Amino acid sequence: MPGNALERMREQLNAQDYKFTPQRSMVLQVLTEHPDEHLSADEIYARVKVKYPDIGMATIYRTLDLLTNLNIVNKVNFGDGKSRFEISQKERHQHHHLICLSCNEIIEVKDDLLIQLEKTITKEHDFEIIDHMVQFYGHCKKCSEKDNKTKNKPQ
């Protein structure tokens, strides 16, 4: 799948008169190889730098800005002060995220639970919905269990 995604992105860049440079290729490769990690620019930079030691952080930022503007990459903010990036899924809506407030784990919810709501909104408001994004904040199972053990510990 990563090879197919990279080829699709190469075609999309070329169709819009942008070159598919090695730097852009490496950024896309890192994102396609780590689809569930929601990497920050710093994390992408660290992984690309392994193969391209001379790459600069400014190149990573410019590449991510371009790929975001071309809707190849989604820029997501989970309220932790960092923008995170993931490959855009054109064939489906955004997935939803569960964000743990204790350990900052980000869990993807693959099911689109808002399809019926979108249909209702579209009909009632004559509004064409292109996409949506939902984020739930709370505590993951591991952190909840750890917190419960702490609360139930005899003093």
Paired residues of 83 in beta bridges: 77
In tens, the pLDDT along 97-138 reads 787 888 878 777 777 778 788 889 999 999 988 777 777 888
Label the pairing between strands 96-100 and 83-87: unpaired
66 with 104, same domain?
no
Are 72 and 9 in contact, with CB atoms under 8 Å apart? yes
136 shares a domain with 81: no
- Which residue among 91, 107, 122 closes a domain? 91
Return the structure tokens found at 27.
Answer: 């950024």
Q: Taking the mean position of all CA atoms in its chain, how far away is CA 149?
A: 33
Pair 75, 118 in one domain = no
Report the C-alpha gap between 55 and 117 in whole angstroms.
45
Distance CA 61, CA 41 (A): 7
Show the tokens assigned to 37.
Answer: 């990690």
Which residues lie below 8 Å from residue 40, measured CB to CB, with a gap of 6+?
Answer: 82, 83, 84, 85
What is the identity of the amino acid at 106? Answer: I
97 strand-pairing partners: 108, 135
Write out pLDDT tens, residues 6-19.
Answer: 777 788 888 888 88
> Is the same domain home to 20 and 63?
yes
Domain of 73: which CATH number?
1.10.10.10
State how far the Cα of 42 lies from the Cα of 53, in Å rounded to an integer.
14
> Measured between alpha carbons, how far is 98 from 140 in angstroms, rounded to an integer?
8
Over residues 69-82, mean pLDDT: 82
The verdict on 125 and 87 lying in the same domain is no
- Which residues constitute the domain of residue 26? 1-91
Task: Indicate the pTM of the whole model.
Answer: 0.64
64, 91, 118 - which closes a domain: 91
Where among 91, 113, 143 does a domain terminate? Answer: 91
Section 55-83 average pLDDT: 88
Q: Same domain, yes or no, for 108 and 37?
A: no
Token digits of residue 113:
């639970």
Strand partners, 39: 85
Return the CATH number at 114: 3.30.1490.190
How many domains would you assign to the chain?
2
